[in-house]
């Protein structure tokens, strides 16, 4: 590949690999599959799921659970305690 020879891209770079990278980063940013599908130009959300399947969702999950816990605590303050 000419770009490899010129040192402009790393050896082994493929369009498929780029799709995986873009989809993974977008998913880790919290983007939904419909948005990823549009960015990748895919016909189905299933392909967006395929390309982003290696996304590390731990940070998103932790954030979601923290939000959930805060909401549960907020709702507890509205409950009337039995006497």
Domain range for 71: 2-76
Average pLDDT across each block of 10 residues of the chain; the chain has 83 residues. List them in order: 78 88 94 96 94 90 90 77 61
Residue 5, CA atoms < 13 Å, CB-side half-sphere = 2
Number of domains in the chain: 1
Residue 82 lies in a domain: no
Residue 52 lies in a domain: yes
User: What pTM value is reported for the model?
Assistant: 0.68
Residue 28 lies in a domain: yes
The answer to whether the Cα torsion of 51, 53, 59, 64 is positive or negative is positive
pLDDT for 63 equals: 86
């Amino acid at each position: 590949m000419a770009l490899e020879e010129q040192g402009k891209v790393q050896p082994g770079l493929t369009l498929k690999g780029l799709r995986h990278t873009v989809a993974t980063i977008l998913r880790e940013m919290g983007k939904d599959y419909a948005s990823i599908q549009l960015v990748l130009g895919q016909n189905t959300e299933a392909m967006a799921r395929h390309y982003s399947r290696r996304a590390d969702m731990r940070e998103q999950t932790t954030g979601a659970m923290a939000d959930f816990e805060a909401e549960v605590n907020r709702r507890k303050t509205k409950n009337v305690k039995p006497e």
